[in-house]
Amino acid sequence: LGILLLERCTGPKSSIRDPWTWMLMVLVLFARPVGILFVAPCLLHLLRREQLVGGGAIAMAALGLLCVLFLLPMDMETVVEPILRGEVMYGISRWELPTMDEPPRTLIGAHWALIQEVGPYEWSRLFAQKAFHCFVLTRPYYSATHNMVLLLHYAVYPFAVLAILRRTEPAVRSALLVLLLHVAVIAMTYTEWNSRFMTPLWPVLLLLGATGGQWIVHRSRMAGSIT
């Protein structure tokens, strides 16, 4: 549904007045807890296309969405406590849960408590590790065959990076914003043992990878015609 929404919102005939687009947004919004991370970039793109908002408003809205997530009350057992235990992967703690008179209930409270406990450097390192590990698919507890199959997926990454660096189509910008928002949320919480948080992002990565491959084919044809 998320990719269908991206396609509908970035296509040549996309319009903010299309009722089917709005219906799809509602479906995606409630289809999974992070549906807003698909809907918000698509809605901002349509508003930008209709010249109802400026270019800077998209970045500001994305930051605003993350700020809202920081302030929302979170479940202690599944969100706050894993952050305080320094879990890069859920269920694998780095240290014991610190004793607190009033445990934090929000993401910003949990991260502030973590900074006070381990310091800014260790906190930054944990943040970077979570962001990095959300793209790591192989696991030591998977079979060799399973990991070999997963290694093939890494071929998509360089093409996706190429699309981000070389292409400026609306679909690429919207897909990149969806990707960055998801990675930011994972970095603020944790990754899963089975990489399930990457499941909604793989269609986005495949979209970017295909766009990067298309750019290579286009440049090769141009070079061939010149020679």
pLDDT per residue as tens digits for the range 9-44:
777 777 778 888 888 888 887 776 667 777 877 777
Whole-number pLDDT of residue 115: 92
Query: What is the per-residue burial (b if ≥16 Cβ within 10 Å, else e) of 65-99?
Result: bbeebeeeebeeeebbbbbbbbbbbbeeeeeeeee
Q: Shortest CA distance to 135 belongs to which of 161, 111, 163, 162?
A: 161
Name 103's Cβ contacts closer than 8 Å, sequence gap at least 6. 76, 80, 84, 113
Average pLDDT, stretch 52-71? 73
Stated as kind and residue range, the H or E segment containing 48 is helix 36-49
Is-contact 89 139, C-beta < 8 A? Answer: no
Higher pLDDT: 209 or 96? It is 209
pLDDT above 80 for 3: no
Q: Phi and psi for 68 in degrees, rounded to 5? A: -60, -45
Whole-number pLDDT of residue 155: 93
Angstrom CA distances, 142 to 63, 89, 139, stand at 36, 15, 5
**Confidence band for 159, pLDDT divided at 50, 70 and 90:** very high
**How far is residue 47's CA from residue 33's CA, in Å, rounded to a whole number?**
24
Average pLDDT, stretch 147-160? 92
Whole-number pLDDT of residue 58: 66
**Confidence band for 55, pLDDT divided at 50, 70 and 90:** low
Task: Give the pTM.
Answer: 0.75
Using the Cα atoms of residue 154, residue 42, residue 111 and residue 31 in order, give the sign of their dihedral: negative
CA neighbours closer than 13 Å in the CB half-sphere of residue 80: 21
Query: What is the per-residue burial (b if ≥16 Cβ within 10 Å, else e) of 179-209?
Result: bbbbbbbbbbbbbbeebebbebbebbbbbbb
Angstrom CA distances, 39 to 68, 123, 208, stand at 15, 30, 18
